[in-house]
Amino acid sequence: QAQPVESGGGSAHTGGSLTLSCATTRYASRFNCMAWFRQAPGKEREGVAAIDVTGGASYVAGSVNGRFTIAQDNARDTVYLTMNNLRPEDTAMYFCAAGPYVCQRGAWSFQGGYTYWGQGTQVTVSS
pLDDT, tens digit (0-9, with 9 covering 90-100), for 59-115:
999 999 999 999 998 776 899 999 999 999 999 999 999 998 888 888 999 999 999
Nearest of 123, 105, 114, 111 to residue 24 by alpha carbon: 114
pLDDT tens across 38-48, in order?
999 999 999 99
Q: Reduce the DSSP state of residue 88 to 3 states and report it.
A: helix
Confidence bin at 36 (pLDDT 50/70/90): very high
Q: In the prediction, which pLDDT does 43 show?
A: 97
Reported confidence tier of residue 28, pLDDT bands at 50, 70, 90: low
CA distances from 88 to 15, 41, 61, 114, 121 (A): 9, 13, 17, 27, 16
pLDDT at 1: 59
